[in-house]
A and B are shown apart, each in its own frame.
Chain A
């Protein structure tokens, strides 16, 4: 297999970028920065996959991770009690456990890389990776992929419908209540009144 010096250089740069930004994820002091350093790391890995002729998978990595990290950053900022995520905070916790787990994972993966004999099978000349991937995914496994896709899409639409202001049981700001489990019974689900009186646990300080 012929590799040009240029491709080698790009590989090393991308690999260094992936490792560096992966390291920064844990050293930075903001959740948003941590997410986007992780994204940078993933982008570098995606680009390496492009170098490996995985044209579709490399790009899929880009757009999946871009949306994923964006959503992750947003949700962390929204729910993590840190105004806009701009206050500094430490990104690591449970140090001992993390060190042990990280060390173990590194040892296992490193050992794999060093001791496993990788097959040397150059690509056949006329292979079109995108088309063959498509045949793989939409050939025998069509049913699995298509049903998973439709389930995911239905989930997305369902989440948006449920979180929208105009809810299933009326507008959200007008105290929408689900119907009772038996006709005329108490509304299903948690009772707003009970929650109102027991709501002190929200006030930590």
Chain B
């Protein structure tokens, strides 16, 4: 019974969270100097309706099954990711003994979905976008896994519910001050959002999505915000104490924390320039990876 309730809650969070990202992104854009684009609350829905009614185009000799399946696959990965997030000690879809490892596998499989999306269109710019994500994806995954191992240490478990329970006294964001900032930067990369949007970037006229239109593009855009929501769920669980909090019920606390993470990511996406890919590699391997080791050592010493 609880699992069903949690499943409903998860789908609700995907839908509402995705919509919230779209609205927040427009509101932030308006505040950052974009011209008024109509009602920010209606615009995402109207845009969805437009994409739904548009034809799905084809390119010359695409790999059609892979091209159409990649957005759906990416959406499925996002949904799986959010299914790992516990809404309360008992309200969780899948509280696996190896939840953290599954999240790592989802990050790895997302690389495959994004590459396929770019590759199967059979067009040069989309292909470069796919290449780029693969070239950078490994470094994102490494940093994110090291940071998550740091979170797992005090919990002595790979279960996300145990990770939250271990933050009863002190949230990980305080206990491991390097963790959340590192995880958020890497999250921008994993969801290729804002400054780290190198796969679907402007210089590639939309990158992996540059040749897609109509319903497949709608699914891809939904999947992208869904992945952002799933990521914010994991970030809130791992660092911000998940359902923990006074007065309000647990699920509400988690929703608020996820919203805070989403707002932070959307804001970063609008105020920073896109990082040059080469600089991004340097940042990941020379700055963030050593910092994640420091974070891991910190967590280890603290757990002793």
Contact = CB atoms under 8 A, between A and B. Distances in A.
Interface in B79-128: 96-98, 101-102, 104-105, 107-109, 111-112, 115-116, 119, 122, 124, 127
B98 A55 contact: yes
A84 B116 CA distance: 12
Interface stretch (A11-19, A61-69, A104-112, A185-193): A61-69
Contacts of B285: 157, 160-161, 164
Contacts of B134: 70-71, 74
Q: Chain A contact residues (Cβ within 8 angstroms of B): what range?
A: 20 to 34
Contacts of A85: 119
B112 A33 contact: no
A69 B63 contact: no
A91 interface: no
Contacts, number: 78
Given A130-B97, A157-B285, A164-B281, A66 B109 contact: yes
Contact of A84 (B104, B127, B278): B127
Contact of B102 (A36, A59, A67, A74): A59
A62 B105 contact: yes
Given A33-B63, A55-B96, A67-B111, A165 B278 contact: yes
Interface string B229-248: 00000000000000000000
Contacts of B131: 74
Given A33-B66, A165-B278, A60 B116 contact: no
B158 interface: yes
A70 B278 contact: no
A128 interface: yes
Contact of A60 (B96, B101, B109, B115): B101
B226 interface: no
Does more than half of chain A's interface fall in helix, strand or loop, or is it mixed?
A: helix
Interface in A144-162: 156-157, 160-161
A34 interface: no
B243 to A, nearest CB: 23
Interface string A66-101: 110111011001000000111000000000000000
B97 A55 contact: yes
Contacts of A41: none
A86 B124 CA distance: 11
A26 interface: no
A32 interface: yes
B63 A70 contact: no
Nearest to A129: B97
A21 interface: no
Contacts of B182: none
A62 to B, nearest CB: 4
Contact of B112 (A30, A56, A59, A66): A66
B8 to A, nearest CB: 22
A56 B111 contact: no
Interface string A22-52: 0000000010110010010000000000000
A162 to B, nearest CB: 12
B61 A86 contact: yes
B185 interface: no
Contacts of A33: 63, 66
Contacts of B101: 56, 59-60, 63
Nearest to A62: B105
B115 A73 contact: yes
Residue of A36, A55, A70 with most partner-chain B CB within 10 A: A70
B138 interface: yes
Given A33-B66, A86-B63, A66 B119 contact: no
Contacts of B137: 70
Most buried by B among A77, A86, A130, A164: A86
B141 interface: yes
B105 A36 contact: no
A66 B105 CA distance: 7
* Chain A CB within 10 A, most for which of B98, B124, B134: B98
Nearest to B100: A59
6 contacts: A33-B66, A66-B111, A70-B115, A84-B119, A84-B122, A157-B289
Given A73-B115, A84-B119, A157-B285, 5 more contacts: A39-B112, A56-B98, A59-B105, A62-B102, A70-B108
Interface of B: 61, 63, 66, 96-98, 101-102, 104-105, 107-109, 111-112, 115-116, 119, 122, 124, 127, 131, 134, 137-138, 141-142, 158, 278, 281-282, 285, 289
- Please name the 9 residue pairs, one residue from A and one from B, whose CB atoms are nearest each other, closest first: A66-B108, A63-B105, A62-B105, A63-B108, A59-B101, A66-B109, A67-B108, A130-B97, A55-B98
